[in-house]
Amino acid sequence: MHPKAFYPHGVLPFPRVKSLPCRVVVGGFFGDEGKGKIISYLALRDKPDIVVRGGVGPNAGHTVEFKGEKYFLRMIPSGFIYEGAQLLIGAGVLVNPRVLLDEVERLRCGSRLGLDPQCAIIEERHIEEEARSSHLVEKIGSTKSGIGTCSADRVMRRAKMARDLPELSPYIRDVPLEVNRTLDRGGVVLVEGTQGTYLSLYHGTYPYCTAKDVCASAILSDIGLGPTRVDDVLVVFKAYVTRVGAGPLKGELPREEVLRRGWMEYGTVTRRERRAAPFDFELARRAVMLNGATEVAVTKLDLVYPECRGARRYEDLPEEAARFIRDVEESVGVPVVLVGTGPDAGDIIDRGTHK
Ligand code: GTP
Ligand code: MG
């Protein structure tokens, strides 16, 4: 067969222009590391042509704060904040059309949105069925978003696809083709993961995990991008560890201690209280390995070292906080390139890329 037959749009794989950075951002603990804030900062800084989301589905919750506005996102990529970016959702993502269309309206980003025709659709019956499953709700601590039941239907090849729903037709796009073509012509692509490494179905704390793998290579597979096309993998850690729902959490602090330290958080999707523990170097080291990280971000440093609040230069960090960052680097073996020092997308120390 002529190779062109594989490329209906007439694009041949070679020769290929050397791509500008394509960066994948994933969580290094149990989700809620503050990926939303890191991604929104990177989108504003790097002005990507495309921000594309892989990951699980609307069981994810990201909070983005920018210029006094607070946005909660479950389906739209957190990089929406940069208005020049196309916002794509890869085939691996499970889509709840109600949640998606509601966000499109709220953020007025419909003209920039592209959805892979093969995103599986979460129906009301998936949510109802999940809510009735004491295994998922009581034992695992599911967010009741219909992720488990919809994933099961997808594996059984009976889930509906985005291409089957007329209300989604304005948004259907060839996501892998657009992402790869943009890189071919030297464009910038920012890839967003969801959840965190230890919620991975394969490498996480099974059975207390989500319904898919969420490590960097899985996120690439979700969007149809091969691993050779990626320049950087950024793993995001919070300066302490939290987890929502059941499952092991080493060093877990009693609730009163979590409150005393100001580390109490509430789930973005479920509003449930999160459990918390101090930073876990061992988990961090392993997350860097599992994701092939080239760089790391640490968020919420100001919640462990309050004097850091709002700092924008590494030199302004108190010695103790700077030592913690150095300890993280030494322990995981890759540089900490971004440090979160406050809630706004701009409250960040940017130490530049390591290259
Ligand atoms: P992901 O699911 O990883 O995207 O994180 P999330 O948005 O669920 O994180 P979480 O709900 O824990 O935290 C979000 C809130 O923390 C938002 O209001 C952010 O603005 C804020 N936040 C993010 N990074 C920092 C930081 O470095 N310092 C402080 N004080 N707040 C931060
Ligand atoms: Mg979250």
What pLDDT score does 38 carry?
Answer: 96
Q: What is the largest CA-CA distance in the chain?
A: 67
Q: Position 304: which residue type?
A: V
Under the banding of pLDDT at 50, 70 and 90, the label for residue 108 is: very high
Q: Is the peptide bond before 306 cis (omega within 30 degrees of 0)?
A: no
Residue 26 is classified by DSSP as: E
Dihedral sign for Cα atoms in the order 212, 213, 215, 220:
negative
Atom index in ligand 1 nearest the CA of residue 242 equals 12
Cα–Cα separations (whole angstroms), residue 332 to 42, 219, 237, 315: 22, 21, 11, 22
Atom index in ligand 1 nearest the CA of residue 299 equals 27
Under the banding of pLDDT at 50, 70 and 90, the label for residue 268 is: confident
Q: How many helices (H) and strands (E) does the chain have?
A: 10, 13
Instruction: Please spell the DSSP secondary structure of 68-89, one letter per residue.
Output: TEEEEESSS-GGGGSTTSEEEE
Q: Position 74: which residue type?
A: R
pLDDT one-digit tens code per residue, 23-65: 999 999 999 999 999 999 999 999 999 999 999 999 989 999 9
What pLDDT score does 352 carry?
Answer: 78
% of the chain beyond a pLDDT of 90? 88
Residue 48 is classified by DSSP as: -
Query: Which mutation among 25, 37, 214 tests ligand 1's pocket best, with the greatest number of atoms within 8 A of CB?
Result: 37
Q: What is the CATH number of domain 21-343?
A: 3.40.440.10
Whole-prediction pTM value?
0.93
B/e letters for 332-345, b = 16+ CB within 10 Å, e = fewer, are: bebbbbbbbbbbbb
Dihedral sign for Cα atoms in the order 127, 174, 209, 276:
negative
% of the chain beyond a pLDDT of 70? 94
CB 244 within 8 A of CB 235: no
CB 340 within 8 A of CB 311: no
CB 117 within 8 A of CB 83: no
Taking CB atoms and a 6 Å cutoff, what residues make up the pocket around ligand 1?
A: 27, 31-37, 61-63, 65, 265, 268, 299-300, 302-303, 340-343
Give domain limits for the chain: 21-343
Neighbouring residues of 201: CB distance < 8 A, sequence distance ≥ 6: 209, 210, 211, 212, 213, 214
Under the banding of pLDDT at 50, 70 and 90, the label for residue 20 is: low
126 is an active site residue? no
CA-nearest residue for atom 14, ligand 1, is: 63
CB 78 within 8 A of CB 342: no
Other residues' Cβ atoms within 10 Å of the Cβ of residue 125: 12
pLDDT one-digit tens code per residue, 241-254: 999 989 999 999 99
Stated as kind and residue range, the H or E segment containing 44 is helix 35-46
62 is an active site residue? yes
Helix/strand/coil for 95: strand
